[in-house]
Amino acid sequence: MTTTPLSKPSIKNTAGIILLCWQAVCAAVLYYFFNYSWQIALADSVISNLCLALGCIVISNMLAYYQPKNQKIAYIFLVTLAVTAAVVIASFYSLSFLFTTDASYLLFLELALVFKTAIAFVCLGWCALTNILWYRLAEQSEMQERMLATQNLAKEAELNKLRHQLQPHFLFNSLNSVYALTIVNPTEAGTMITKLAAFLRGTLKRDDEVWVSVADEMEYIQLYLDIEKVRFSHRLNVAVSIAEDTLSLCLPGTLLQPIVENAIKFGLYNTSTAITITVDVKLENNMLVITVSNPYDPEMKASKGTGFGLSAIRRRLYLLFADSSLLQTESKDNNLYITTLKIPQKDDQNDTN
């Protein structure tokens, strides 16, 4: 949570109102309690307080451009003392010049000099401390904004790194398969190269998209599955079930492909029989729930791990939602490995669907 200091216009307006009220009070005191004429009372109040206001402006500008890191209290005290002396002398000689013929008032000025000096010093000191506090809050607010911007940039950089690390991982596997197909089945190799080019072209278009719709993501996954079907032919079967009310919902881009790739890897790589990968997409309690299941060999040690793809997805989900439980895996008794992905949906997003 960032602290936002008061804006300068609001401070200036408040100070102006306080100055007018204080001038009125000072003039009323001189007029009613000391029985001076309204001309003297008004002149004394206006000149004295305008000099005081000018001193406040001088202190504010000085502190805006220079504040020592060390001995700040001593610096503020000396500045306040010097400005106080200047304010008192300026007001004293200005009023003495205006009312040189009024001996009673001149005597009053001399007697009130110590009192006015004390009042001016207190007001100017309060002004100095207020400015120090205001500039400190402004500096802290700016520092917090910079830190937040830096954290967001670091977060985006890590998200982009995780997204782009997955593509070479898939690309290397596909290129190895293309190489194998060029030897045993050149026609299928050509088909796979065409689909791979379309897949990578779509990947480049999606690089700047953090969020995509379920319809777009499933179209992207279908293209990936087409490539994998070329690689594994009849051995790979895929059953996809998508609820109609989920097509316009959103999820982070390229998030589902590593899950499907993981299912194919641990379900198909170590068996010569055909398998079926099941993908189910539905909406539950304002959550987009995607379930990917694949058969596995319980005696295989590799099937118990999550692999790089799933660990990268967990990290992305934590960076986006600060929730490490949105990706879950479980093994069923019927040798079925299930990966469940949950993506929170905003209420206003569902209202527009």
DSSP calls for 59-118: HHHHHHH---SSSHHHHHHHHHHHHHHHHHHHHHHHHHHHTTT-HHHHHHHHHTHHHHHH
Per-residue pLDDT tens digits of the chain, which is 353 residues long: 344 444 556 666 776 777 678 778 888 888 888 888 888 889 998 998 889 889 988 998 888 888 777 777 888 889 999 999 999 999 999 999 989 888 888 898 898 899 989 999 998 998 888 888 888 888 888 888 877 766 666 666 655 655 555 556 667 767 877 777 788 778 877 878 887 787 777 666 655 556 889 998 898 888 888 888 877 778 889 999 999 999 999 998 778 888 888 888 888 866 778 889 999 999 998 899 999 998 887 765 444 444 556 777 888 888 888 888 899 998 887 788 899 999 998 765 544 44
Of all helices (H) and strands (E), which one includes residue 268?
Answer: helix 257-268
Residues contacting 51, CB < 8 A, separation 6+: 87, 88, 90, 91, 94
* Contact between 55 and 124 (Cβ < 8 Å): yes
What span, in angstroms and rounded, lies between the C-alpha atoms of 226 and 194?
11
What span, in angstroms and rounded, lies between the C-alpha atoms of 238 and 264?
10
Residues contacting 23, CB < 8 A, separation 6+: 45, 46, 49
User: Could you tell me the sign of the dihedral formed by the alpha carbons of 76, 82, 84, 90, in that order?
Assistant: negative
User: Could you tell me the sign of the dihedral formed by the alpha carbons of 240, 241, 243, 249, in that order?
Assistant: negative
CB atoms within 10 A of CB 136: 12
Q: Which tokens go with 318?
A: 């934590």
- Return the bridge partners of 276, or none: 237
Query: Would you call 125 helix, strand, or coil by DSSP?
Result: helix
Q: Which of 338, 194, 336 is CA-nearest to residue 279? A: 338
pTM of the model: 0.55
Go through the domains of the chain in sequence order and give each one's CATH number: 8-147 (no CATH), 185-352 (3.30.565.10)
